Amino acid sequence: MAKVRLERITRQFKEAVAIADITFEVPDGEFWVMVGPSGCGKSTILRTIAGLESATSGNLYIGDRLANQVPARQRDVAMVFQNYALYPHMSVAENLAFGLKMRKADSQTIQERVESVARSLDIAHLLDRKPKQLSGGQQQRVALGRAIARKPQVFLLDEPLSNLDAQLRDDTRAELKQLHQCLGITTIYVTHDQVEAMTLADQIVVLKQGRIQQIGAPQAIYARPTNRMVATFLGNPPMNILSATFEDGAFHLADQSFTCPSAITAHLPLSPGQSVELGIRPEHLQLVSASEDQDFNVEVSVVEPLGREILIRAVLPTQPTSSAAQAINLQVSPEIRVRPGDRLSLQIDFAQLFIFDPATGDRLY
Ligand code: ATP
């Protein structure tokens, strides 16, 4: 096992900068997840660590060794891709043994290792089959097994679950977590699935357009996102973002307003007429019966029962002359009866309110 350190890594292609000034260190044995929208540079970072891509500038350390010039096969890292890339003409056992054979391990070591990996991934009964005789989930386990078999110092996983159906994906995700707990191999995992990021990671690295937006433990990032992008990327349904103006101690949204608590204004000097974006997660909106000073009204558009709760998609009602209605999602308990067209009174949990700068997306509060 080894720590992995990226120091000011940049990768520039002719057309564009794929990743810029990336610095982080994954401590020995931890499980880190890189997330971000398509094209944000996740795979480029992983490929740079694997040695499949070389950085334009910056330093990469695997363990205490500067790895910039170390060829991919000498880095002692194993990478698993979303498309498995198994050798089609080899049996499962031969696929699992491949990396060990290349390293000239003796046949008894190979056999023991293949059997032990196959047992831990529950594929021991498939050892004689060829990849095309396996389901997608089984193929993915073999791909993981092939990587584990050679006991790499670092495990790199690029969207390894994305080809699996929903149920299998959930199961395999839990197995991966368990596997990491047993093996303790330093792991860097790429996904654009925020559930995978939240459930698997010791630390999440959020990326956008080749730059790090935030690094932190899943709950810490969820609770204290550094900007609007991070805030809306983690959480499903995502955080509501409402455009508002600050005036006379109150936030004005569409044709409604509510008093801004002094706890907020004490921390954040807002100037009269200042435009802001209010961020509020669906679970932090409360349905209230009577309309009070701190409430605002929404009109229900769609009701989606999800079993444990109901997801309500609503809009802030506006006058016909006003700009486009702002959408807002909330989650309520399944006993509550609501129908499209109903008007609801909502109260914000101000302790959970975020305020963003509309121009930069930075969190102001
Ligand atoms: P996805 O989630 O879609 O796989 P990603 O976050 O992994 O995306 P990368 O594949 O790392 O993103 O790509 C980052 C940026 O670098 C993109 O804008 C991509 O077009 C660009 N890029 C990647 N590889 C090359 C290449 N070989 N030549 C030119 N540009 C590239």
pLDDT in tens, 93-137: 999 999 889 888 899 999 999 999 898 888 999 999 999 999 888
Structure tokens at 213: 């937006």
| Per-residue confidence band for 319, with pLDDT thresholds at 50, 70 and 90 | low
What separation in Å is there between the alpha carbon of 185 and the centre of ligand 1?
27
| CA-closest candidate to residue 160, choices 141, 179, 133 | 141
192 lines ligand 1 (CB under 6 A): yes
211 lines ligand 1 (CB under 6 A): no
Task: Determine the Cα–Cα distance for residues 119 and 127; give it in Å rounded to an integer.
Answer: 10
| Per-residue confidence band for 293, with pLDDT thresholds at 50, 70 and 90 | low
43 lines ligand 1 (CB under 6 A): yes
pLDDT of residue 353: 94
What separation in Å is there between the alpha carbon of 331 and the centre of ligand 1?
36
177 lines ligand 1 (CB under 6 A): no
Ramachandran region of residue 254, left (φ > 0), alpha (ψ -120 to 50) or beta? left
Task: Determine the Cα–Cα distance for residues 196 and 171; give it in Å rounded to an integer.
Answer: 12
- Residue with the nearest Cα to atom 21 of ligand 1? 18
pLDDT of residue 25: 98
Q: Which ligand 1 atom sits nearest the alpha carbon of residue 16? A: 30
Q: Choose one of 38, 44, 233 to mutate for the ligand 1 pocket test, by most ligand atoms within 8 angstroms of C-beta.
A: 44
18 lines ligand 1 (CB under 6 A): yes
What separation in Å is there between the alpha carbon of 39 and the centre of ligand 1?
5
What separation in Å is there between the alpha carbon of 222 and the centre of ligand 1?
26
Collapse the DSSP code of 209 into the 3-class scheme (helix H, G, I; strand E, B; otherwise coil) and give the result: coil
69 lines ligand 1 (CB under 6 A): no
pLDDT of residue 45: 97
Average pLDDT of 250-266?
85
48 lines ligand 1 (CB under 6 A): no
What's the whole-number average pLDDT of the chain? 91
- Residue with the nearest Cα to atom 29 of ligand 1? 13
Mark 314-331 as b/e (b = at least 16 C-beta within 10 Å): bebbbeeeeeeebebbbb
Domains by residue range for the chain, with CATH:
4-233 (3.40.50.300), 240-356 (2.40.50.140)
The residues, any chain, with a CB within 8 Å of residue 216's CB and separated by 6 or more, are: 203, 204, 224
Q: Which ligand 1 atom sits nearest the alpha carbon of residue 53? A: 27
- Residue with the nearest Cα to atom 27 of ligand 1? 13
Task: Determine the Cα–Cα distance for residues 165 and 282; give it in Å rounded to an integer.
Answer: 27
pLDDT in tens, 14-63: 888 999 999 999 999 999 999 999 999 999 999 999 999 999 999 999 99
Q: In what order do the strands lie in the sheet with 203-208?
A: 77-80, 154-158, 186-191, 31-35, 203-208, 211-216
144 lines ligand 1 (CB under 6 A): no
| Per-residue confidence band for 294, with pLDDT thresholds at 50, 70 and 90 | low
40 lines ligand 1 (CB under 6 A): yes
What separation in Å is there between the alpha carbon of 124 and the centre of ligand 1?
37
Q: Which ligand 1 atom sits nearest the alpha carbon of residue 36? A: 6
Predicted-assembly ipTM surpassing the 0.95 threshold = yes
Task: Determine the Cα–Cα distance for residues 110 and 99; give it in Å rounded to an integer.
Answer: 10
β partners of residue 215:
205
13 lines ligand 1 (CB under 6 A): yes
34 lines ligand 1 (CB under 6 A): no
Task: Determine the Cα–Cα distance for residues 227 and 239; give it in Å rounded to an integer.
Answer: 12
- Residue with the nearest Cα to atom 2 of ligand 1? 38
Largest distance between two CA atoms of the chain: 79
What separation in Å is there between the alpha carbon of 38 and the centre of ligand 1?
8
Q: Which ligand 1 atom sits nearest the alpha carbon of residue 207? A: 6
Structure tokens at 227: 């900007």
Structure tokens at 266: 């004490």
Whether 42 and 36 have beta carbons less than 8 Å apart is answered as: yes
38 lines ligand 1 (CB under 6 A): yes
The reply to whether the predicted model has a pTM over 0.80 is: yes
